[in-house]
Amino acid sequence: MEQIPSSLLSLSNFAGMIFTITQLIAYSLFIVTYVIQAGSQGGQDLDAVVAVAAFPIIRLFYIPTLELLAITMLGLVAVSSLMNCLRQRSLNSALVFLGFSFIFFGHLLFLFMIFDEFLLFFGQIMQLIGFVCLLIMLAKVSRTRI
């Protein structure tokens, strides 16, 4: 039996990944259609339908290795911004530290979302707060330079 070339094997793996992603998008469209239809009929609680439909899909994209990598990188950035905040003692550096710390804690919550789906929600809230802190800092810096 002949050996399959590695380039053909990697192409096959790539095609399989594209096929799987296309299927997920199609299933997502089915779910969205179902949610819209259920909302227009008013017979069911729309939030419950969305939660039931969304969490199995979200779990498909849960990759703990990537979360650990993100946590490590954000931890280094948060510690560096803490050092800068302690050195500079300004509101801008404090906002940067808070922003990256909230994003870091959001990813920590994402890491443990397999135990409770609400950790995904709280992680998203933490990241939102972190990005708002960074946005406030950016607005303050850009306003002083204009």
Whether residues 67 and 57 fall in one domain? no
pLDDT at residue 60 tops 60: no
* The dihedral formed by the CA atoms of 125, 120, 63 and 112, expressed in degrees to the nearest 10: 110
**What whole-number distance in Å separates Cα of residue 119 and Cα of residue 124?**
8
Whether residues 67 and 105 fall in one domain? yes
pLDDT at residue 1 tops 60: no
Whether residues 56 and 83 fall in one domain? no
Domain housing 54: 1-61
pLDDT-derived band at 130, boundaries 50, 70, 90: very high
pLDDT-derived band at 44, boundaries 50, 70, 90: low
pLDDT at residue 30 tops 70: no
- Residue with the bigger pLDDT between 144 and 53: it is 144
pLDDT given at position 68: 81
